[in-house]
């Protein structure tokens, strides 16, 4: 296998030896130790790749030497190498092809309410969505390009300190846009066949039963990481709240912010680990707003009191092809 193919395979597969789990991945400036991190985090990850390449330099059997890492104008990871035999230098570029899901072409409906009020479709358009939250490490690459000072640790944690406009700027840098609320609804509501453009909704991503949350019992942190799960160590880049489409954190985990073309003020998924299971926020499609407004009650189909604390929200991006 050619060196470039070997490197591409490593980039796509990540930490296949599970060295992080064994506490044998020692690059403290790149990867925080002692955190609970899902193995998928290390796939298509420039920080893991740099750590791997540093260790490659320590092997006498290698015919190549890793010289330095950088990022291009679109945030793609660039690795400079030297072939020891010929003394020639070259660059390999790595693109993130691991983190997106493709939304099935169909007719969808936004908001938590059954009906035909917020219908839309993606026929003839390819829509790809980040499966996970944008993390601090990703944001740091963009921030360094635009000379914006942001937190740089821990790189695996969701980014929650950017303003709404900064989130949009980051997604533009990645070649996309801030995720639309309607796209998140489409990716998380269980598919239901529409009849005469009337779409039925199921409030939970794992069941069509209206009482699915009550039937969970005390807690089920894999389905919804709520306040009851606070005794557990949170797993970053996890598969909590998995949806039918492959998008994670459908409910629970972090408050998440979206753009919302149907109702711009309705921009927050409030279901999160800040609320216990009996909170009314734990239903798909419900949105919160920074300011009280009658329209948000109409959009949600019910009035729910917002918390008084300032909202710090995670986010992700959407891409159109």
Q: What is the mean pLDDT of residues 59-83?
A: 93
- Residue closest to 258 by CA, chosen among 131, 160, 167, 158: 167
Task: Tell me the pLDDT tens digit for each residue of 248-305.
Answer: 999 999 999 999 999 999 999 999 999 999 999 999 999 999 887 889 999 998 889 8
- CA-to-CA distance for 142 and 134, rounded, in angstroms? 12
Same structural domain, 185 and 79: no
CA angle, corner 46, sides to 41 and 52, nearest 5? Answer: 90
Q: Tell me: pLDDT of 217 over 80.
A: no
Same structural domain, 216 and 86: no
pTM: 0.94
Same structural domain, 20 and 82: yes
Do the beta carbons of residue 156 and residue 135 sit within 8 Å? yes
- Indicate the residue among 51, 72, 94 that finishes a domain: 94
- Indicate the residue among 46, 70, 94 that finishes a domain: 94
Do the beta carbons of residue 253 and residue 226 sit within 8 Å? no
- Indicate the residue among 72, 94, 116 that finishes a domain: 94
- The enclosing domain of 74 has a CATH number of 3.10.450
- The enclosing domain of 309 has a CATH number of 3.90.1580.10
Structural domain span for residue 60: 3-94
Cis peptide before 116 (omega within 30 of 0): no
Give the mean pLDDT of the chain: 94
Same structural domain, 120 and 209: yes
Q: Tell me: pLDDT of 245 over 80.
A: yes
The pLDDT value recorded for residue 1 is: 67
Total length of the chain: 321
Same structural domain, 172 and 87: no
| Angle separating helix axes 46-57 and 3-13, nearest 10 degrees | 130
Same structural domain, 281 and 173: yes
Same structural domain, 85 and 115: no
Same structural domain, 45 and 189: no
- CA-to-CA distance for 234 and 274, rounded, in angstroms? 13
Do the beta carbons of residue 237 and residue 314 sit within 8 Å? no
Same structural domain, 244 and 177: yes
Domain count for the chain: 2
Strand pairing partners for 78?
A: 70, 93
The pLDDT value recorded for residue 152 is: 81
- Residue closest to 9 by CA, chosen among 71, 98, 80: 98
Residue 225 in tokens: 């990481």
21's torsion region: left (phi>0), alpha (psi -120 to 50) or beta?
alpha
Using a pLDDT cut of 90, give the percent of the chain over it.
Answer: 80
Same structural domain, 107 and 16: no
Q: Per-residue confidence at 56, pLDDT binned at 50, 70, 90?
A: confident
Same structural domain, 132 and 56: no
Q: Per-residue confidence at 117, pLDDT binned at 50, 70, 90?
A: confident
Same structural domain, 131 and 228: yes
Ranges 4-18, 82-96, 122-136, 194-208: which has the least confidence: 194-208
The pLDDT value recorded for residue 62 is: 83
């Amino acid at each position: 296998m050619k060196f470039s193919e070997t490197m591409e395979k490593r980039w796509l597969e990540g930490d296949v030896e599970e060295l992080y789990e064994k506490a044998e991945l020692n690059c403290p400036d790149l990867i925080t130790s002692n955190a609970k991190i899902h193995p998928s985090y290390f796939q298509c990850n420039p920080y893991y790749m740099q750590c791997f390449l540093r260790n490659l330099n320590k092997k006498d059997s290698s015919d190549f030497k890793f010289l330095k890492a950088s990022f291009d104008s679109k945030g793609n990871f660039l690795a400079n190498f030297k072939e020891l035999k010929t003394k020639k230098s070259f660059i390999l570029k790595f693109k993130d092809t691991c983190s997106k899901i493709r939304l099935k072409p169909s007719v969808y409906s936004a908001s938590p309410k059954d009906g035909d009020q917020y219908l839309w479709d993606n026929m003839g358009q390819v829509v790809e969505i980040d499966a996970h939250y944008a993390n601090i490490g990703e944001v740091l690459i963009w921030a360094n390009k635009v000379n914006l000072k942001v937190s740089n640790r821990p790189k695996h944690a969701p980014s929650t300190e950017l303003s709404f406009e900064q989130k949009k700027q980051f997604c533009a840098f990645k070649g996309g846009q801030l995720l639309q609320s309607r796209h998140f609804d489409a990716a998380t509501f269980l598919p239901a066949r529409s009849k005469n453009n009337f779409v039925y909704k199921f409030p939970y991503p794992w069941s069509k039963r209206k009482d699915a949350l009550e039937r969970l019992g005390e807690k089920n942190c894999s389905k919804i990481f709520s306040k009851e799960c606070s005794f557990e160590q949170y797993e970053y880049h996890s598969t909590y709240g998995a949806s039918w489409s492959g998008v994670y954190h459908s409910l629970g985990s972090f408050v998440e912010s979206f753009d919302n073309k149907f109702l711009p003020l309705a921009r927050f998924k409030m279901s999160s680990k800040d609320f216990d299971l009996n909170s009314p926020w734990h239903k798909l499609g419900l949105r919160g707003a920074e300011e009280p407004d009658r329209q948000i009650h109409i959009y949600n189909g019910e009035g729910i009191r917002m918390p008084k604390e300032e909202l710090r929200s995670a986010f992700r991006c959407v891409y159109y092809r």
